[in-house]
């Protein structure tokens, strides 16, 4: 825990490194594409993070594709710079993406492989020297992945890996003072870190993510299925999980709620399609539901009961997939708003509806939520989409009849919007934005004008 371990801003300016990392990525992508390796990591994820085989496999697949994306010359292509002619012969300005030097990465329990791997590689691709801390409950996954990366050629001195609790890590960061710290996790810790590190951070914190169903009702079975996955896959423990659903009145007679209830009923503990909640106890969730049901017009749509026949320890939560209806006019009242939009990191969502002339109320509610991570706008009506998109700010926003809030892949940006500290993950744009800064180098080599004469001072 010596701060010098981070101090090496001269690190990795050699061109060759870009080529090496293309090779490492190609090899690691190929290893992770082997069925036995993929299965190993999928089951390892399941051992520490309660999710179904397919949900865990999705992490491995996204990681594998990400590594493929930065094979060959694609790492050096990330370092692409630009140049513009200057004011006179011999002058030219160059804009580079430059590494920060020593950086830190802190990632949470719910995606033990995907989040730390993608951010770690992004930091390395751009030429930084990262130290990585993964939530200690799940860090074994990344520990195994680092061994795989070393096998594929990652030099051991390029990245540091630390196993510790959050408080110690906070002390470490304050002492080591890295040039940049990427934090993925709870809003509370994010805000504290931002102040502690005086803003030298990029953040991807949790969000109270919304979905709006537009006026054009269609493909109800499909929409119900997407709602079920968005709200309850991984027992709702994704930062992109659907927290609130706004239904246009036209959906009232579509049977959507009843279909969602049926789908929720398919989930079972045996295959972890529903399972333990790591950061909220059953009791806390049930108290929250009770409070919500005191709001006039509120009602329990389905769920609400504890899971049965299980050995989940009391420190964790165990709740059926649950939905509570609250009228939109009640949500907007000042004394209800904070309660209704409290994020429960578990299998729980709020459902409400709105009339044709109440869209403004929906947008007001969305704007008042404090984090703006993912959102979904289920409609194929172009004028409706245009209107809502133009008046909202969520970072990763899915629109169209197939819109979802979860399941972001490696091929598009994932991250919040509206905050200068917001991080992204995985795409070339995200890597460049999070893991490098602009540096301008202006070449001005002459020659001097033929008859240059000393000008007066100014």
Q: Please list the active-site residues.
A: 204, 239
Binding window for a second copy (CB under 8 A); candidates: 146-154, 250-258, 329-337, 415-423: 415-423
**Which residues between 29 and 58 bind a second copy (CB under 8 A)?**
29-30, 33, 52-55, 58
Out of 104, 169, 197, 298, the only residue in the binding site for a second copy (CB under 8 A) is: 197
Out of 39, 47, 81, 255, the only residue in the binding site for a second copy (CB under 8 A) is: 81
CB 294 → a second copy: shortest distance, Å?
A: 30
Out of 302, 331, 424, 425, the only residue in the binding site for a second copy (CB under 8 A) is: 424
Does position 147 interact with a second copy (CB under 8 A)? The reply is no
d(CA 416, CA 395): 4
Residue burial 211-227, b: 16+ Cβ < 10 Å; e: rest? bbbbeebeeeeebbebb
Is the CB of 292 or the CB of 414 nearer to a second copy? Answer: 414
Record the tokens describing residue 165, joined without a space: 């609790």
CB 32 → a second copy: shortest distance, Å?
A: 11
Out of 6, 18, 60, 208, the only residue in the binding site for a second copy (CB under 8 A) is: 18
Does position 202 interact with a second copy (CB under 8 A)? The reply is yes
d(CA 286, CA 292): 10
For the chain, the straight-line distance linking the first and the last C-alpha, in angstroms and rounded, comes to 51
Does position 76 interact with a second copy (CB under 8 A)? The reply is yes
Record the tokens describing residue 322, joined without a space: 């649950």
Does position 454 interact with a second copy (CB under 8 A)? The reply is yes
Out of 83, 137, 283, 299, the only residue in the binding site for a second copy (CB under 8 A) is: 83
Angle between helices 15-32 and 53-69 (to 10 degrees): 150
d(CA 169, CA 136): 11
CB 287 → a second copy: shortest distance, Å?
A: 27
Report how far apart, in Å, the C-alpha atoms of 284 and of each of 231, 345, 356, 377 are. 18, 11, 36, 30
Angle at CA of residue 282, ends 278 and 283, nearest 5°: 130
**Which residues between 241 and 270 bind a second copy (CB under 8 A)?**
263, 266-267
d(CA 310, CA 457): 83
Query: Rounded to 10 degrees, what is the CA torsion of 425, 12, 195, 3?
Result: 130
In terms of DSSP H, where are the helices of 219-357?
Answer: 220-232, 256-265, 282-293, 328-331, 334-340
Binding window for a second copy (CB under 8 A); candidates: 82-90, 107-115, 294-302, 331-339: 82-90
Is the CB of 71 or the CB of 110 nearer to a second copy? Answer: 71
CA-nearest of 401, 323, 388, 400 to 358 is: 388
Binding window for a second copy (CB under 8 A); candidates: 148-156, 215-223, 310-318, 331-339: 215-223
Is the CB of 139 or the CB of 374 nearer to a second copy? Answer: 374
Binding window for a second copy (CB under 8 A); candidates: 138-146, 157-165, 194-202, 279-287: 194-202
Is the CB of 56 or the CB of 328 nearer to a second copy? Answer: 56
Is the sign of the CA dihedral 175, 180, 182, 188 positive or negative? positive
**Which residues between 324 and 383 bind a second copy (CB under 8 A)?**
363, 367, 380, 382-383
Sheet strands side by side (includes 160-162):
160-162, 129-134, 102-107, 180-185, 201-205
Binding window for a second copy (CB under 8 A); candidates: 84-92, 109-117, 142-150, 204-212: 84-92
Does position 419 interact with a second copy (CB under 8 A)? The reply is yes
Does position 151 interact with a second copy (CB under 8 A)? The reply is no
All residues at 6 or more sequence positions from 36 whose CB lies less than 8 Å from its CB, including other chains? none
Half-sphere exposure of 237 (CA within 13 A, CB side): 27
Does position 440 interact with a second copy (CB under 8 A)? The reply is yes
Output phi, psi for 399, to 5 deg.
-135, 155
**Which residues between 269 and 308 bind a second copy (CB under 8 A)?**
273
Does position 455 interact with a second copy (CB under 8 A)? The reply is yes
Neighbour tally for 156: CB within 10 Å: 9
Does position 208 interact with a second copy (CB under 8 A)? The reply is no
Output phi, psi for 205, to 5 deg.
-100, 180
Does position 450 interact with a second copy (CB under 8 A)? The reply is no
CB 283 → a second copy: shortest distance, Å?
A: 26
**Which residues between 115 and 144 bind a second copy (CB under 8 A)?**
none
Does position 439 interact with a second copy (CB under 8 A)? The reply is yes
């Amino acid at each position: 825990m010596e701060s010098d371990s981070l101090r090496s801003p001269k690190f990795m300016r050699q061109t060759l490194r870009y080529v090496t990392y293309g090779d490492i990525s190609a090899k690691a992508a190929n290893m992770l594409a082997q069925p036995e390796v993929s299965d190993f990591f999928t089951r390892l994820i399941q051992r520490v993070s309660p999710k179904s085989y397919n949900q865990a496999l999705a992490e491995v697949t996204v990681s594998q594709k990400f590594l493929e994306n930065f094979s060959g010359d694609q790492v050096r292509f990330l370092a692409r710079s630009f140049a513009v002619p200057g004011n006179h012969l011999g002058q030219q300005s160059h804009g580079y993406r430059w590494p920060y030097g020593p950086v830190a990465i802190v990632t949470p329990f719910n995606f033990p492989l995907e989040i730390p791997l993608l951010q770690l590689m992004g930091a390395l691709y751009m030429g930084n020297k990262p130290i990585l801390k993964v939530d200690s409950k799940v860090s074994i996954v990344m520990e195994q992945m680092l061994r795989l990366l070393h096998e594929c050629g990652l030099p051991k001195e390029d990245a540091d890996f630390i196993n510790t609790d959050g408080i110690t890590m906070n002390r470490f960061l304050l002492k080591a003072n890295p040039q940049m710290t990427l934090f993925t996790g709870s809003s509370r810790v994010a805000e504290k870190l931002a102040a502690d590190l005086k803003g030298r951070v990029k953040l991807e914190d949790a969000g109270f993510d919304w979905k709006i169903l537009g006026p054009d009702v269609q493909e109800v079975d499909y929409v119900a299925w997407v709602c079920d996955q968005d709200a309850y896959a991984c027992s709702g423990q994704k930062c992109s999980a659907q927290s609130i659903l706004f239904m246009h009145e036209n959906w009232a007679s579509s049977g959507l709620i009843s279909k969602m209830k049926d789908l929720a009923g398919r989930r079972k503990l045996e295959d972890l399609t529903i399972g333990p909640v790591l950061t909220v106890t059953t009791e806390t969730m049930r108290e929250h539901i009770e409070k919500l049901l005191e709001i006039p017009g509120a009602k329990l749509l389905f769920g609400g009961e504890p899971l049965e026949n299980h050995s989940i320890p009391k420190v964790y939560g165990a709740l059926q997939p649950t939905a509570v209806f609250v009228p939109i006019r009640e949500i907007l009242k000042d004394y209800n708003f904070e309660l209704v939009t409290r994020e429960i990191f578990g299998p729980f969502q709020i459902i409400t509806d709105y009339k044709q002339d109440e869209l403004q109320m929906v947008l007001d509610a969305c704007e008042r939520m404090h984090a703006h991570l993912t959102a979904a706008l289920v409609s194929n009506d172009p004028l409706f989409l245009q209107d809502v998109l133009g008046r909202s700010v969520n970072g990763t926003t899915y629109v169209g009849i197939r819109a979802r809030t979860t399941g972001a892949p490696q091929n598009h940006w994932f991250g919040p919007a509206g905050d200068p500290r917001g991080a992204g993950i995985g795409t070339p744009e995200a890597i460049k934005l999070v893991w490098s800064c602009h540096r301008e180098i202006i070449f001005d080599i002459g020659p001097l004008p033929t008859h240059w004469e000393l000008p007066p001072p100014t």
